[in-house]
Every structure is written in C-alpha cells, then in structure tokens.
Amino acid sequence: MNKKKNRIILVEDSSDLGYLLSEYLSMKNFEVSWFINGISALKKLETTNYDLAILDITMPDMDGFSLAEQIKDRFPDLPFLFLSARSLKVDVLKGFYLGAVDYLKKPIDEEELVIRIENLLNRLNNEKNVEENTYHFKLGQFNFNSLNQELSFKDEIFHLTTKESELLHYLALRQNRLCTHKDILIKLWGNNDYFNKKSLNVFITRLRKYLEKDTAISLDNVHSQGFILHVEKMN
C-alpha cells in the first residue's frame, strides 16, 4: 500500500534554489507546489489543501512575514516554517511570534531539511490525532463528554447544543491558554466576521452560566483578543 504523500507549498523567489528544493523534496515522496511570490501562493491556497508551507522572507511584492500573516488569518490550520538567509535574532523571534513552527537558516543541507520536515509533520499529525480523539475532560468539578454533548456537575447533567459542545471542546483542549476570536471563529464558524463574533459572545455567555457553579473555573475575556478557560488544578 503506497504511503500518502504530504503536500508542501514552497514559496521561494530564487529560481535556482526553488527548483532544487522542489525537485529534491519530490524525490523524497513529497508533493510540492513551488511559487516565486506570495500572491500566487495565496491564490493556490484558496483551492488546494496543504500539510505544510515553506516560506522565504526576502521576496518582492509581499515578503515572507506578510505572507505568514495572511496564511495565519485566512488558513489557520496550515502550519508554516521560514527558510531564510536572514539570521538576525530579531528576524527569528518575529518568525516565531507570527506562529512559525520552525525557522531554518540558509544555506541548509537538503537531507537535513527532509528530516526536519518529516519529524515536524509526524509531531503535528500526532498532536492532531490526540486532539481529534479526546472527548472526555475533567474541568474542576465538572465532567465534560464532547461526544455525547454532556456537561455534568455533581448530580446535574446539562445537555449542550452542538455549537456549545464544539466551543467548550475547543476551549477545553486549550485550557489556560488564550484562544483568539479569530481562531475560534474560523475553526468553528468558518468565517471571522462581525455577525459571527456576536454569535460567539452569545455562546460564551451560555457556557459561563454552566461553569459558574464551580469557582475553580472561569471563562475570562481578554479585551479585543479572545478568551481563556482558566481551570485551577485539583490538589
């Protein structure tokens, strides 16, 4: 049985390096789409799903940092890494601040690049599998079963709506971490717009009413950013 090829979108304006990397990665059983600028890459992303994006930084029209911001906003489930000759600490930190899963410095050995990509994709796939198969949560004195859409507190059982359950599941997986409005809306509503944000606030209010029974839990608003499901650890 043939192993499914991981799909990579490579954005590199150097024709020599772009050709070399796309050919080498193709030889290593990756399906590669190579683009010389960010505008063309974004158009392709609108119609095609990829497992990883590899971005150069110094490019005309749209640099790699700007492209990363577009990807994070419009395609939040697509992990990306930078492959750049820019090696200053400020550039590396900016890359990770934007959400990069790695920052590799040119020149890089092609074999090392392949190993890094394979390890990265394996880790991301394992994390995704764990997330997709985690249904039961202990949240303070609450038990939450997202598969059955049930939230229980002592002898009380609350039957959640589908959207309530999806939202609590998303927050529970990321408890004690900031979940931005944008990430929640794109993941659960499919669109980050004003009306969906109003809807999100309604569901947050509903969840707060359930969770207020336990003082060890709080669903806090971070102004203009998002929400944090704070859960105190039980002794």
pLDDT in tens, 91-114: 999 999 998 989 999 998 999 999
Helix 110-132 / helix 15-27 crossing angle, nearest 10 deg: 60
Q: Which CATH architecture has domain 136-231?
A: Orthogonal Bundle (1.10)
Residue 99: which of 77, 126, 127, 131 has the closest Cα? 77
Residue 78: which of 163, 6, 166 has the closest Cα? 6
For domain 6-131, is the CATH number 3.40.50.2300?
Answer: yes
Q: Which amino acid is at 64?
A: G
Helices (H), 75-146: 89-97, 110-132
pLDDT in tens, 18-76: 999 999 999 999 999 999 999 999 999 988 889 999 999 999 889 999 999 999 888 88
User: What residues does each domain of the chain span?
Assistant: 6-131, 136-231
